[in-house]
Structures are given as C-alpha cells and as structure tokens.
Amino acid sequence: MRWRNRFRALATTTALTGLILVGQASSPAFAVAAGCTATGVSGTVNVDGYTAGSHNYPYVYLSLADTAADGHHVRIRFISLSAAGPHTYYPWHALYDGNGTSTGWSTSAYSAATTAGFAVQAAVYEGDDQIRYCTDYKWY
C-alpha cells in the first residue's frame, strides 16, 4: 500500500513537470496593436493570437477613419514583417464615405516568410494616386 501511494505521488509529479515544461517550451500568443495618423487619415490594426516566429496572424482587425473634408478617400493595409525575407504587403481596404466616417475589417493573414512583427499603413488617395501615408511598425 505504501509503495502504491509513493508511485502515485511520483507519477503525478512527473505528469505535472511534463505539463510545465511543455508550457514553457511554446511561445505564448498575444494581442498587440499598431496605429498611425497623417493629415486626413487615421488607421489602426489589432492583432490577436499572434506568435512571434510563426507564419500566421489568426485574428487581424483593421480600423480606418477619414479625418478631413478634402474630397479624397482613405485606405489601409496590413504588412507582415520578416527579419530574413521580404515583407508581405496585403491588399488595401478603402473608405469612400467622406470626412468623419470610419469602418473596420476583420481578417486573418498568412506569411510565407517567418514573421518578425507587423505594420499598419494608412493613406490618403485621389483615385489611384497616393497623396500621403503613415506607417507604424511592431517588431519582435
């Protein structure tokens, strides 16, 4: 009986130690935001579930606001940053509703290169011509 109790205690301790080591070996996923402003535009990105060194951004939320009555439209895009390879520039999202309006997009992203961070770019456009832009980077 005494040996059985010791064996159970040892098995429980070994199992808990294994769980702790597994937990320490993996990188935690976390939420991070980036944002920037330029005359006429404000943009932010919130990234959740991101693990540095992975290829995935499971939850990306882009937020864009037109802040000037200038007759131009605004756009926003997400950028995956890579320390060793080219950055991945995702498509622009546009807002055409004018001054004082805002909108957002929920998406996800995958990068062929190992990720080292991300960025958001917001810009003011006239047609397809970019007038001005801002960028905010989050490196890890």
How far is 54 from 87, CA to CA, in rounded Å? 14
| pLDDT tens digits, 61-116 | 999 999 999 999 999 999 999 988 789 999 999 999 999 999 999 999 999 888 89
Q: Is the pTM of the predicted complex or chain greater than 0.85?
A: no
Other beta carbons within 10 angstroms of residue 133's beta carbon come to: 18
Handedness of CA 69, 37, 74, 49 (dihedral sign): negative
Helices (H), the chain: 2-25
Q: Which domains does the chain have, with CATH numbers?
A: 30-139 (2.60.40)
Q: Is 79 exposed, middle or buried (0-12, 13-18, 19+ CB in 10 A)?
A: buried
